[in-house]
Amino acid sequence: MTSKNYQKCLEEMFGLQRFGIKLGLDVIQNILDNLQNPENTFSCIHIAGTNGKGSIASGLASILAASGYKVGLYTSPHLIKFNERITINGIEVSDEAIVSSYQAVKSIPKTDREPTFFEYTTAMALHLFARSNVDWAIIETGMGGRLDATNVLSPALCVISNISMEHRFYLGNTIAEITGEKGGIIKHNTPVVTGVTQKSAIKVLQQIAANKSAPLYRLGEDFKVRRSKNGSFSYSGIDHQWKKMKTGLPGSHQVDNAALILAACEVLLQKGLSIKFSRIKNSLETYAWPGRLEIIPASPGISPEIIIDGAHNLMAARKLSQFLKQEYSHKNVTLVIGILNDKPFESIMQSLLPQCNRVILTQPDIDRSLPPEKLKSFTQSIVSDTVIVKDVASAVMHAIKTAPADSTICIAGSLYVVGEAKQALKNIGIPELPGKNI
């Protein structure tokens, strides 16, 4: 019965996606008010930005849990199963918990419109965290910040990772406008840690922080990192100097994300939290974030080496390209890629294709996916060995069967592609989280 109820809940929730994206706080606040405001029962960290939100959120959750706190983590999207979005001390909540929280939200009297999918899931997460008596919740925004459903929170700390051009229809056409939306999570007298680098973005955040008397800590200004050739880095922070640090996530950009995690830890230490350096160091070296430069080593008789990375926008694609250029320039690389129709596909492909020897174009099972036929002529102009295999699972299997010996398969372009690919690999017996990202 639980399985049927769970599937029914998911069907009803995903059916809400037909209402699209509706930014605003009135509906979510009404739901939470009727649930006796679960968001007020725990401390939280609110995270916004273009890329790196999930890596930062997962890292902070790992450190706080290792330090003895009960920690809820809310992220999106999921890769294989919905429950991935809501975890407590690293464990996905149960199907029964999803059903009960969904029913609790569904029972709330409706206002002038139906809640969106994201409003539902946000309310469910906060309800479950309160019911589980978490000490801390790490909450990732969905889109933007100012009018995002998560912005009903009163956080102890805000983190804004970085800013690039995205979701222009909703957030604005300039870096400054987008920064204004993401900076909307900043609250009065609440510290902010950020990795933004553009002058216009910095100016906007400085203005918002000043208006709200919020201390602002900037990467490269108030805290810095120095990379070493052996992959480690030194952190020069707000109050601390930490040497020989490492992050368990591959890619040089993860050092910047690690710096934001460490700066956030410093702010938490200032607030009196009990977090030992040994816990910080060990957690940073060992935590995982699936589908982001996840490297699965070659399996004899099963597959060649596989790299799985969402690379779902231009900034992320450039970082993946840099990683491939630095680490895989000597390898034969097959790219399996599918892209959503609201992304700059030509720019994404221009970034990735020079690092690849052949391309398999595919299409995730979501209505916003770009038909691979629209990608083919442009792709072939850069990589002549290009084919279309529409179904993601079939594309992955085709890549494995036809990959040259001692080659690498890279799966990218969308987290939806990544989710379907991971399920396909799981179905043929390749474990979910092997390799370097573990």
Task: Please tell me the least confidently modeled range out of 18-27, 75-84, 107-116, 155-164.
Answer: 18-27
- Where residue 295 falls (left for φ over 0; alpha for ψ -120 to 50; beta otherwise) is beta
Pinpoint the residues of the chain covered by CATH 3.40.1190.10: 2-286
Per-residue pLDDT at 19: 63
CA 187 vs CA 43, 157, 177, 309: distances in Å = 14, 9, 18, 33
Q: How confident is the model at residue 169 (pLDDT cuts 50, 70, 90)?
A: low
3-state helix/strand/coil string of 230-243 = CCCEEEECCCCEEE
More confident residue, 331 or 265: 265
Res. 14: pLDDT tops 70 = yes
CATH homologous superfamily, domain 2-286? Mur-like, catalytic domain (3.40.1190.10)
Per-residue pLDDT at 434: 39
Task: Please tell me the least confidently modeled range out of 69-73, 141-145, 223-227, 259-263.
Answer: 141-145
Which of 342, 354, 359 is CA-nearest to residue 416?
342
Res. 420: pLDDT tops 50 = yes
As a whole-number percent, the residues of the chain with pLDDT over 90 amount to 76
Per-residue pLDDT at 70: 98
Per-residue DSSP letters for 192-229? EEE----HHHHHHHHHHHHHTT--EEEBTTTBEEEE-T
Which of 78, 164, 159, 180 is CA-nearest to residue 121?
78
Q: Which of 12-21, 38-47, 76-85, 225-234 has the highest mean pLDDT?
A: 38-47
Q: How confident is the model at residue 253 (pLDDT cuts 50, 70, 90)?
A: confident
Q: What mean pLDDT do residues 135-144 have?
A: 94
Which of 141, 137, 121 is CA-nearest to residue 182?
141
pTM of the model: 0.91
Contacts of 436 (CB under 8 A, 6+ apart): 248, 250, 295
* Torsion sign over Cα 49, 341, 366, 411: negative
Per-residue pLDDT of 343-393, as tens digits, reads: 889 999 999 999 999 999 999 998 889 999 999 999 999 999 999 999 999
Q: How confident is the model at residue 429 (pLDDT cuts 50, 70, 90)?
A: confident
Per-residue pLDDT at 302: 67
User: How many Å apart are CA 315 and CA 251, to the nearest integer?
Assistant: 13
SS3 109: coil
Per-residue pLDDT at 20: 66
Res. 1: pLDDT tops 60 = no
Q: Please give the sequence-ordered ranges of beta strands (E in DSSP) within 42-96, or none if there are none.
A: 43-48, 71-74, 86-88, 91-92
Res. 167: pLDDT tops 80 = no
- Across the chain, what does the average pLDDT equal? 91
Q: What mean pLDDT do residues 2-7 have?
A: 87
Which of 184, 135, 134, 187 is CA-nearest to residue 157?
187
CATH fold, domain 294-427, is Protein-Tyrosine Phosphatase; Chain A (3.90.190)
Res. 21: pLDDT tops 90 = no
Per-residue pLDDT of 281-309, as tens digits, reads: 999 999 988 888 899 888 776 678 999 99
The vertex-35 CA angle with 31 and 40, nearest 5°, equals 100
CA 32 vs CA 35, 84, 421: distances in Å = 5, 22, 36
Per-residue pLDDT at 58: 96
Total residues found in the chain within this entry: 438
Which of 254, 225, 255, 247 is CA-nearest to residue 237?
225
Q: How confident is the model at residue 417 (pLDDT cuts 50, 70, 90)?
A: very high
Cβ neighbour number for residue 45 with a 10 Å cutoff: 25
Pinpoint the residues of the chain covered by CATH 3.90.190.20: 294-427
Give the position of tokens 């956030």: 264
